[in-house]
Amino acid sequence: MEACLTRRRAGASLLQALLLLAQSLFAAAPQKDAGADMTAAREARDREAEQILDAYGNRILRLAYSYLHNMSDAEEVLQDTLMQFLKAAPVFQTEEHRKAWLLHVAGNLSKNRIDYNRVRDADELSEELTAENREDLRFVWEAVKALPVKYREVVHLFYYEGYSTAEVASVLHENEATVRSRLDRGREKLKQILKEAYDFG
Amino acid sequence: MTLAEKYAQIMDRIELTEAMRRRVLENVRGAAAEKKPIRFPNRRHWLAVAACLALLLLGALTLPKIAWGGSQEPSAETASGISECASAEELSRAVGFPVSDVTALPFAVTQTSYLNYWDQLAEIQYRGADGQSAFYRKSAGTEDNSGDYNEYPSARELTAGSVTAELRGSGERYTLACWTDGTYAYSLSLPQGADAAAWTEILAGVK
């Protein structure tokens, strides 16, 4: 009788142990945590991407367009810049540093496209200015477009982004003296193209 | 109107439209979702099934002897393209090159995370009790892998043991060290900063 009870008790405790073990293994709490981590990380990444697009999307797009003269290419550069940012997960002390990093990457990606001749032909901006009979603006745009890339990027960052020559040098990872020289040469070339219409004040 | 104003007028016409924004975000999410180098979602589940079957077969006598090693905990993918490993050894296997812990940090480490970025970059994150932290990175090649694009007013070269690193920081306190051995690039970031003497000790302990 006692032996039978012991056997039954042993059987019950074995079943209980098995159930507990199976429960703990199937509970998959760590998996849930890992899943929650992944979801949280994905949401954080999405939020960051949206934040960058809201804060700097237009600036990156415009800089890319100034290099490539095409909206589809500029959009792809914006997308690639965002991907690079999320991949590199860089750390910045200030928002200005973040902006400079994004413009630097967007500039490099744009120049790569020019180097590999992957730029499309259509210049929507030029077409739009022509359609609206804004010859004054189209004249300026064509003149800036005609500048070599190294002058054009300096002109864009200096005049449009409002950067100082030191800041342009920082964005482009160039020497400030080189930037000043390129800015001077860019202005000279614009003078030659625009003649009396030149007034890059 | 100056040419600069005209140029601004031209550039202001280029705008990120809602459709473009949506497209970019979708593509970024899609690209990120495609790059999942390590997947462990079902390993635990199958481990559980196999374990229960084995238990049923082995019966009551063998039950107490079964042990489940904590070291078998699978790595957790923390974000797309980034996976967390359990140890420096596991991280080394994931990235394909040896990665060792930094042993001489200037604070008591309470938490360590081993991260594999895209199977290309290894990062070990150390955290201390009082908010101190350190981020050690190693990757193939010689390019700066710190991901730190801040401009630092101070920079100097420092040799400690077999490492000759460039220290960057402000004044006499340096927050970043970058170096290479010709095959791999290394960086160690100490947000709280340390002076050159402390960095000498830290870098001497890096393998």
Are the C-beta atoms of B173 and B195 separated by less than 8 Å?
Answer: yes
CA angle A69, A96, A155 (to 5 degrees): 35
Minimum mean pLDDT among A84-93, B75-84, B161-170: which range?
B75-84
Give mean pLDDT, residues A161-167.
91
Which of A57, A86, A160 has its CB closest to that of B32? Answer: A86
The band of A28, judged by pLDDT with boundaries at 50, 70 and 90, is very low
Q: What tokens were used for B1?
A: 């109107």
Task: Please answer yes or no on whether B44 and A125 come within 8 Å at the CB atom.
Answer: no
Which of the residue ranges A17-21, A23-27, B82-86 has the most confident prediction, judged by mean pLDDT? B82-86
In the stretch 27-66 of chain A, residues with CB closer than 8 A to chain B read 28, 30-31, 33-34, 37-38, 41-42, 44-46, 49-50, 53, 57-58, 61-62, 65-66
Residue (of A87, A38, A89) closest to B135 by Cα position: A89
Tell me how far apart the alpha carbons of residues B32 and B19 are, in angstroms, rounded to a whole number.
20
In the stretch 81-120 of chain A, residues with CB closer than 8 A to chain B read 82-83, 86-93, 97, 100-101, 104
CA angle B194, B197, B203 (to 5 degrees): 80
Give B136-176 pLDDT, tens digit per residue: 999 998 888 877 666 678 889 998 888 899 999 888 899 89
Quick one: three-class SS letters along A74-126?
HHHHHHHHHHHHHHHCCECCCHHHHHHHHHHHHHHHHHHHHHCCCCCCCCHHH
In the stretch 180-199 of chain A, residues with CB closer than 8 A to chain B read 190, 194, 197-199
The verdict on ipTM greater than 0.90 is: no
Minimum mean pLDDT among A177-186, B1-10, B30-39, B110-119: which range?
B30-39
Q: How distant is the Cα of A141 from the closest Cα of chain B, in angstroms? A: 7
> Does A164 reach chain B within 8 Å, measured CB to CB?
no
Tell me how far apart the alpha carbons of residues A46 and B28 are, in angstroms, rounded to a whole number.
9
Give mean pLDDT, residues A61-70.
95
In the stretch 133-152 of chain A, residues with CB closer than 8 A to chain B read 136-137, 140-141, 144
Q: Is the pLDDT of residue A86 over 70?
A: yes
Q: What tokens were used for A16?
A: 């209980």
% of residues, chain B, pLDDT over 70: 73
